[in-house]
Chain A
Amino acid sequence: MATIDHTMPGTARPGPARQANYLNASHGLLSWLTTLDHKRIGVLYLVSTLTAFFLGGVFALLVRTELLTPTQTIMGPDTYNKMFTLHGAVMVFLFIIPSIPGAIGNFVLPIMLGAKDVAFPRLNLLSWYLYIIGALWAVASIIMGGVDTGWTFYTPYSTTTNTAVISMTFGVFILGFSSILTGVNFITTVHKLRPVEMDWFKMPLLLWALYSTAVIQILATPVLGVTMLLLIAERALGIGIFDPALGGDPILYQHFFWFYSHPAVYIMILPAMGVISEIIPVFSRKHIFGYRFIAYSSVAIAIFGFLVWAHHMFTSGMSPMATMIFSALTFSVAIPSAVKVFNWLATMYGGSIQLKTPMLWAVGFIFVFGIGGLTGLFLGALTTDVHLHDTYFIVAHFHYVMMGGSVFALIGGLFYWWPKMFGRMVEERWAQIGFWLSFVGFNVTFFSQFVLGSRGMPRRYFNYLPEFQGLHQLSTYGSYVLAIGLGLSAVALLHSLFAGRPAPDNPWGAASLEWSTSSPPPTDNFSSEPVAGDPYDYNELAWDRSVQGYVRKG
């Protein structure tokens, strides 16, 4: 191979001349829509999930704007009810659940293993198409008049309302299969394509997180699919399963729904924790602290996550015995999450910390996830939960975990792997301003909602008592700042595609395998067989001024 000098791991190519890579290997829309390359499928997921994020964000801003005044502001109550339903459903099912595994996982997982692709490339493309078909069904429900049930589709409301529930839930049903197939693919890939020298405890922690996530995806998602089918059957055929008027049991629906949707919270947060476990050591230039505890805590969260679903139902009239057991089990999830946070902090201790944009988002993640996690304690405890349940306190709590947690990690991960994905460096200044606006806007938006909730403001309210107006307005103004911050971050990323400095192979000095190939990688990922070492050992990497990146010593 004549170009071996240019593709040796850690060797950067000076100048703008680009070699063959997965982006320029073939051209045209069709080459993308029929691609089997995991990197291209990752980019397809990235574009589609970020489009869903934008759509869900528009719904969120409309909801917040409506809440500027205690009565009607810009829309009527039925439109408002559809807006918050679409916001929730789009954000959860079309954005957060598929985003990190689909976009970052697809792109990074095989390269981190030193593999050429995932185990089943065709299945991988199929899961993206299922995502698109499911998303189209869900979006079709908007054209068919919208859905007004809330993203939880609680019966018997969802079986009696005259909105497009069947279209939306059928979309969710299909999206579930997309999620399952991604899980199957990742588990097989980690088992079968892991190089011999990489044992389980030499895997980057993101892989532990994605693996644990995949287990939940495979085991929990079928329950959601069945539940959605039963709901559709009840609505369309009048079979009594959940509706008491037909002899059904509405609480049964809640059990079924949360049996999936609580583990789904961990589908959303576990990959995020994996991303943070990659970013923190690299930007601290220090080995991750407590590797095994972090790895095991991912598995523990995946297991405990299955046993706590009924904590969404403490006021539903469940037996006191069940209520007690689910409260106790709920607290078990707090421990592995706390362990991770302490380990990240200990990684930073004694480090050589550089606050580049990915690290800013990671540090921001610890801040907001800290609040999100700690406020979970109020909700696991029974008497305080009874007061706070179904108020804005819950809304604030899960936005701190899902938006502040998962989305902060996704954006941090995006800035971190962006040079690898597209071969361009992002302008730090604008990206950092984008972070700070997002961070401040986020906290103003959602912290005020904790206070609203503990003072008794119920969620999903179109009208509200005048005493809550001040905090609602504060929250709405915060959401505008957040939107500007996220918009600025998007501009910084897009700007780099056209005007960004070409990225070196290893701009951050990371030791996992994806940074030993070129940026962007060739179609087959590596030009020579990579050798996996400790993914958190940075001793062999030295800063090279000429390429503005890190290269292997010697």
Chain B
Amino acid sequence: MTRLLALLASANPPTTTSGDFWMPVRGSANAAAVDWLFYFIYYISLFFFALIVGLMAYFIFRYRQRSPDELGEGPSHNTPLEITWTVIPLILVIAIFWIGFTGYMKGAISPDGAYEIQVVGAKWKWMFGYPNGYIDENLHVPVDTPVRLVITSDDVIHSLFIPAFRLKKDAVPGRYTKMWFRATQPGEYQIFCAEYCGTSHSDMLAMTIVHPPGEFEKWLENAANFLDKMSPAEAGEKLFKQRGCTQCHSIDGTRIIGPTLKGAFGHEVALTTGQKVLFDEDYTRSSILNPQAQIVAGFDPVMPTYQGRLKDREISAIIEYIKTLK
């Protein structure tokens, strides 16, 4: 017990950007403030827990029963004492509330001129939309710049969670939620989906990539022009991965939520209606834009539509990519 306590007490409050026993790496200006409060509560808790368990253990030993006829002795109430141990915790929790509240309000209002990125969660993929219309599967941001995320969902509730920034916000269909941060260290930080959303909830991962000064703009320009710079099949592969196709369609023949696309192109597929249809350019296009119309036999009609989400040129690129999956 004492060794456990010593181990816990050795977890020091934040001084560096690297993580410690309790908390992961600190990647944003907000993280240090959150960790400070975490350790403030932690030491208060440690003190009271040691007090309670220490007294309890001492009483059990000191006042152990020696004969079954022995009676305990002591007061059955003491109003000043009871008021004391009501008021002291009250003061402490008010302090904890206040620190948490003021910190939260700082995070609730983003600074003017923050760089805005649109975030869409969908089963089971994050899509990050930049001001020039480019959409990426990862969150790329410039270092030391306030970034504001406007978050929504295409289907069920998701939650964007960046542990290194100590931030989390639900992605709610039909609503926009907002959060902002200022990344302080270039690097890559994990993004999780924190609100349960079904089969591949735990695979709904992405990365935050914090670019060093001056490099974010270059990256964005380069990334946004991928349709001009890559061959259609390469661009299609990029889109296939970015827009969440891989979550349901394998390219190696394994069956996941949707039919595999390996060797599918150019062959006939059986539909739930009993009909057969040739998997060609037209079928691919209609399946992307109107996925519920022709469902392959043996699969559920769960694919969302990409109407308005993919441009014609992008659909053509994806078709070229699917053709290469032999």
Contact = CB atoms under 8 A, between A and B. Distances in A.
Interface of A: 77-78, 81, 148-150, 154, 156-157, 160-162, 244-245, 249-251, 284-293, 315-317, 320, 323-324, 327-328, 331, 334-335, 338-339, 341-343, 345-346, 348-355, 363, 366-367, 370-371, 374-375, 377-378, 380-387, 389-391, 451, 454-456, 458-465, 509, 536, 538-539, 542-543, 550
Given A367-B56, A543-B68, 12 more contacts: A156-B173, A244-B173, A251-B175, A288-B76, A328-B97, A350-B74, A353-B63, A363-B56, A377-B93, A383-B37, A383-B107, A385-B100
A289 B76 contact: yes
Contact of B202 (A328, A343, A463, A543): A463
Contact of A244 (B30, B159, B174): B174
Contact of A148 (B173, B175, B198): B198
Contacts of B55: 345, 349
B6 interface: no
Nearest to A534: B76
B227 to A, nearest CB: 32
B63 A348 contact: yes
Contact of A538 (B71, B94, B99, B172): B71
B48 interface: yes
A77 B101 CA distance: 38
B297 interface: no
Contacts of A316: 170, 172, 177
B167 A331 contact: no
Given A456-B24, A460-B196, A287 B76 contact: yes
B64 interface: yes
A289 B55 CA distance: 15
Report which residue of B85, B166, B202 has the largest number of chain A beta carbons within 10 angstroms of its beta carbon: B202
A384 B169 CA distance: 13
Main secondary structure of the interface of B (DSSP, over half): mixed
A156 B203 CA distance: 20
B82 interface: yes
A545 to B, nearest CB: 9
A345 B59 contact: yes
A371 B49 contact: yes
A348 B70 contact: no
Contacts of B2: none
B228 interface: no
A242 B42 CA distance: 38
Contact of B199 (A78, A244, A286, A348): A78
Contact of B97 (A315, A366, A381): A381
Contact of A157 (B52, B63, B86, B196): B196
A327 B100 contact: yes
A335 B72 contact: no
B170 A354 contact: no
Centre residue among B59, B100, B104 by max chain A CB count within 10 A: B100
Contact of B41 (A378, A390, A451, A459): A378
Nearest to A385: B100
Nearest to B161: A458
Contact of A292 (B74, B77, B194): B77
Contact of B193 (A160, A352, A458, A543): A458
B204 to A, nearest CB: 10
A377 B41 contact: yes
B271 interface: no
Contacts of A339: 82, 85-86
B62 to A, nearest CB: 9
A-B pairs with the 6 shortest C-beta distances? A286-B72, A456-B163, A244-B174, A350-B74, A381-B100, A351-B72
Interface string B187-230: 00010111111111111000000000000000000000000000
A331 B93 contact: yes
Contacts of B49: 370-371, 374
Given A323-B104, A458-B192, A384 B34 contact: yes
A381 B201 contact: no
Contacts of B200: 77
A335 B44 contact: no
B210 to A, nearest CB: 17
A384 B38 contact: yes
A455 B85 contact: no
Contacts of B170: 315-317
B157 A456 contact: no
Contact of B155 (A156, A341, A455): A156
A419 to B, nearest CB: 15
Contacts of A539: 71
Given A244-B173, A377-B93, A465-B190, A383 B103 contact: yes
B273 to A, nearest CB: 19
A362 B156 CA distance: 43
Interface in B35-74: 37-38, 41-42, 44-45, 48-49, 52-53, 55-56, 59-60, 63-74
A348 B56 contact: yes
30 contacts: A77-B202, A81-B196, A81-B201, A157-B197, A245-B174, A249-B174, A284-B63, A286-B76, A287-B72, A289-B78, A315-B194, A316-B170, A327-B100, A342-B82, A343-B82, A345-B56, A349-B55, A349-B59, A350-B73, A351-B59, A353-B64, A370-B49, A374-B44, A383-B166, A387-B168, A454-B23, A456-B164, A458-B161, A461-B202, A543-B67
Contact of A154 (B44, B90, B190, B196): B196
B19 interface: yes
A350 B24 contact: no
B82 A335 contact: no
A465 B191 CA distance: 12
Contacts of B70: 285, 352
Nearest to B64: A353
B84 to A, nearest CB: 9
Contacts of B175: 244, 251, 317
Nearest to A341: B52
A390 B194 contact: yes
A78 B108 CA distance: 36
B69 to A, nearest CB: 5
